[in-house]
Amino acid sequence: MGFLPMTRREMEQQNIRQMDFVYITGDAYVDHPSFGTAIITRLLESRGYKVGIIAQPDWRDEASIREFGEPRLAFLVSAGNMDSMVNHYTVSKKRRSTDAYSPGGKMGLRPDRAVIVYGNLIRRAYKKTPVILGGIEASLRRLAHYDYWSDQVKRSVLLDSGADMISYGMGEHSIVEIAEALDSGLDIGDITFIPGTVYRAKTLDHIPDPEVLADYGTVSTDKRAYAASFLTQYRNTDPFTAKVLAEPYGSQGYVVQNPPAKPLTQQEMDDVYDLPYMRAWHPSYDDQGGIPAISEIKFSLTSNRGCFGGCNFCALTFHQGRIVQTRSHESILREARAMTQEKDFKGYIHDVGGPTADFRHPSCKKQLTKGVCTNRQCLFPEPCRNLDADHGDYVALLRKLRGLPKVKKVFIRSGIRFDYVLADRKDTFLKELVQYHISGQLRVAPEHVADRVLQCMGKPKHSVYEAFLKKYDSYNRQYGKEQYAVPYLMSSHPGCSLKEAVELAEYLRDLKYTPEQVQDFYPTPSTLSTCMYYTGLNPLDMQPVYVPRNPHEKAMQRALLQYRRPENYALVKEALIKAGREDLIGYGPKCLLHPARQSADAGKLAAAKRPKPSGEKAGRSERGKGRSAAKKKTIRNVHKKKERHS
């Protein structure tokens, strides 16, 4: 077994006369189950279909998608593992310099809004061949959606791409049903019945009881109507309770969304991960330095998908859904044993998890038959009384992995939910996490400290995080471990004014911790927080929400999280004055800024730029070296103290 064909020559070498499907992707071809392209193409191959992959075609040249000729059944199109706009631009809309999903990390090998560009490219070359979109970009843009980069509500990508259908979410069920329907001779226009798909329709006569959303013209101009439409979509993301949604587009008819596909059973998920992946990038990339993204996942294990955490800034509810699906221990152990035989395996499994590492079963027993609740969350604002908070299965899995030959250490890096850990009355998982699964630092995501902001984020109160830290620190002391909790923090989320940003800065001051990197809220498509950002309303209750949209205010909020940095002095001072917190400018122990600091920093900079007097050595004097060494030692000690406090 080898890689799937990427060229006509490889196609001919495998004695394939015509492809059944041609898969167009914005990523380089990596045959590993962490890449959606690999899963869908291997799944189709396992059902007997011939599949070719055109990775990162030249979207300016129509010939680039003619590599295999016209496929018998359809073109499949994905932007790749990331939305192409997120892949290309930072939250400040600056162009990124590297692309981890391209050979050698090279940027610029895929277009902006990739599924739209690829869809139109195919449609120019092949007028009637079915085109089916998939992947996260199409999934999150399947209906009218706010687009941060253009600052407007855009139409469904189904219309703008010229495609016939979208397979949204995790597409294993829907893509097999689509393939079988096309193979049976059905016209793509007649395939309107498959869960997990979106299609176009002139009328709604064939749908018994559709939920008709506000039309595109209304939601693109009326923010309250957009928020109401989003809430309807948000409450129809469960495969057991969702209705058929229809979005009107005037003379163009409707974009119709079928309910999501049912979650995979454990056997189905095992089958997906047991497919014959090469677990490597295609050899054609060897001379270009390979594909950087694989380094993060090559020695990691996916144990689950789906997430009932329900963070408002996360798109998982719209893409993977809230019902957790898991692989069996046997499937994961098979992959782990194969991993240990690879020549560059050093004894370390980098991660065992998924969207949330410690979710190994649905949050309550009813979900696999009745679905998730449409009007409440499992963990927010407090854990539901029906929550099954039990880490027993995860602990058993980790113990088995630790016991494998050649395995020195098993890390957990994909993140844990500290509120779910606290909800588990047995502390077995937390104890073993501290003893065996941390590489010096445990990264957790409280995101903020102001409860008003946490409410908008869908995160637990700050007191919950503090309770977790207290328990985590106690077990580190008990087991003699010097390990720290490093918090992920976010600035400029809806609901966060300068007042709350200063509150977060004060928390960091008391913690004696300065984050190296700061995450600014990024309004990506189809999240509840993005809806708040655009409309200024919380769609759950239609109450107004303060939104920091001005780039200068966002810069001030970001600077407050790193207030100790000299280059942030002016922004931090301005923020404190605007927030009415001049009391934090001074020399007291609680102050964030010293009034003389800016002038002192400016003096040092000017002195460094002045020409040195004649005869003065370029190097420091011995006395200066001594002072510098003492200063470095002090900084190291302070840094260690900061980490202990964190």
Among candidate residues 145, 195, 144, 185, the one with its CA nearest the CA of residue 165: 195
- Determine, yes or no, domain membership for 436: no
Domain of residue 119, CATH code: 3.40.50.2300
Domain boundary among 204, 234, 257: 257
| C-beta separation of 77 from 93 below 8 A | no
Tokens of 63: 């010939």
CATH number of the domain to which 391 belongs:
3.30.750.210
Number of C-beta neighbours around residue 236 at 10 A: 18
pLDDT digit string (tens) for 44-65?
Answer: 999 999 999 999 999 999 999 9
Residue 641 has pLDDT above 50, yes or no: no
User: Of 93-97, 241-245, 485-489, 581-585, which gets the smallest average pLDDT?
Assistant: 485-489
For residue 98, what are the domain limits?
8-257
Residue 68 neighbours by CB under 8 Å, 6+ apart: 5, 8, 11, 19, 22, 52, 54
According to the model, what pLDDT value does residue 338 have? 95
pLDDT tens readout for residues 305-333:
999 999 999 999 999 999 999 999 999 99
Which is higher by pLDDT, 507 or 638?
507
User: Which residues sit opposite 276 in a β-bridge?
Assistant: none
Instruction: Measure the CA angle with vertex 496, ends 490 and 498; round to 5°.
Output: 105
Q: What residues are paired with 78 via a beta bridge?
A: 25, 134
Q: Is residue 638 part of a domain?
A: no
Domain contains 624: no
Instruction: For residues 17 and 137, state if they share a domain.
Output: yes
pLDDT in tens, 480-498: 999 999 999 999 999 999 9
pLDDT bin (cut points 50, 70, 90) of residue 601 is: low
Evaluate if residue 241 carries a pLDDT over 80.
Answer: yes
Long-range contacts of 460-463 (CB under 8 A, 24+ apart): 460/379, 460/380, 460/381, 460/382, 460/419, 461/381
What's residue 642's pLDDT? 40
Q: How confident is the model at residue 608 (pLDDT cuts 50, 70, 90)?
A: very low
- What does the pLDDT read at residue 611? 46
Greatest distance between any 2 Cα atoms in the chain: 92
Q: How confident is the model at residue 598 (pLDDT cuts 50, 70, 90)?
A: low
Q: Let me know whether 174 and 90 are in one domain.
A: yes
Extract the tokens encoding 18: 């015509």
Least confident of 161-170, 365-374, 463-472, 592-601: 592-601
- Enter the DSSP assignment of 285: G
Strand partners, 98: 106
Percent of the chain clearing pLDDT 70 (strictly above): 92
Q: How many CA atoms lie within 13 A of 331 on its CB side?
A: 19
User: 440: pLDDT confidence band, cut at 50, 70 and 90?
Assistant: confident
Residues 147 and 75 in one domain: yes
Residue 276 within a domain = no
Taking the CB of residue 565, how many other CB atoms lie within 10 A of it?
Answer: 12
CB 450 within 8 A of CB 497: no
Residues 237 and 353 in one domain: no
In this model, does residue 345 exceed pLDDT 50?
Answer: yes
Q: Is residue 139 predicted with pLDDT exceeding 80?
A: yes
Confirm if 307 and 359 have CB atoms less than 8 A apart: yes
Decide if 645 contacts 513 (C-beta within 8 A). yes
CA–CA separation, 179 and 199 (whole Å): 15
Q: How far apart are CA 369 and CA 634, in angstroms?
A: 60
Work out the pLDDT band at 577, boundaries 50, 70, 90. very high
CA 629 to CA 110: how far, in whole Å?
A: 49
One domain, residues 166 and 303:
no
From 424, 450, 476, the end of a domain falls on 424
Q: Extract the runs of DSSP E, i.e. beta strands, from 453-535.
A: 484-491, 519-520
Q: What is the pLDDT of residues 380-419, one digit of tens each?
A: 999 999 999 999 999 999 999 999 999 999 999 988 999 9
Query: Does residue 277 fall inside a structural domain?
Result: no
176 and 308 co-located in one domain = no
Query: Mean pLDDT of all residues in the chain?
Result: 92
Indicate whether 206 and 331 sit together in one domain. Answer: no
Q: Are residues 210 and 154 in the same domain?
A: yes
* Contact yes or no for 360/324 (Cβ under 8 A): yes
Least reliable range by pLDDT among 177-181, 368-372, 498-502, 620-624: 620-624
Between helix 569-578 and helix 551-561 the angle, nearest 10°, is 110
Residues 196 and 67 in one domain: yes
Q: Is residue 467 part of a domain?
A: no
159 and 221 together in one domain: yes
Query: What one-character DSSP code corresponds to residue 87?
Result: H
| 376 pLDDT higher than 60 | yes
512-551 burial string, b = 16+ CB within 10 Å, else e?
ebbeeebbbbbbbbbbbbbbbbbbbbbbbeeeebbbbeee
Q: How far is CA 477 from CA 151, 192, 419, 474, 484, in A?
A: 50, 59, 21, 5, 11
Closest alpha carbon to 302 in 268, 263, 336, 352: 352
pLDDT at 643 over 70: no
pLDDT in tens, 500-548: 999 999 999 999 999 988 899 999 999 999 999 999 999 999 999 999 9
* Per-residue pLDDT tens over the stretch 253-311: 999 999 999 999 999 999 999 999 999 999 999 999 999 999 989 999 999 999 999 99
Report the residue count for the chain: 646
Model confidence band, residue 639 (pLDDT cutoffs 50, 70, 90): very low
Instruction: Give the whole-angstrom CA distance, residue 145 versus residue 168.
Output: 15
Mean pLDDT of 356-361: 96
Q: 505 in a domain, yes or no?
A: no
What is the number of structural domains in the chain? 2
Please tell me whether residues 401 and 328 are part of one structural domain: yes
102 shares its domain with 244: yes
Residue where a domain stops, chosen among 195, 230, 257: 257
What is the full DSSP assignment across 129-194?
A: S-EEEEHHHHHHTSSSEEETTTTEEEPPHHHHHT-SEEE-SS-HHHHHHHHHHHHTT--GGG----
Does residue 564 belong to any structural domain of this protein? no
User: Quick one: tokens of 618?
Assistant: 């370029």
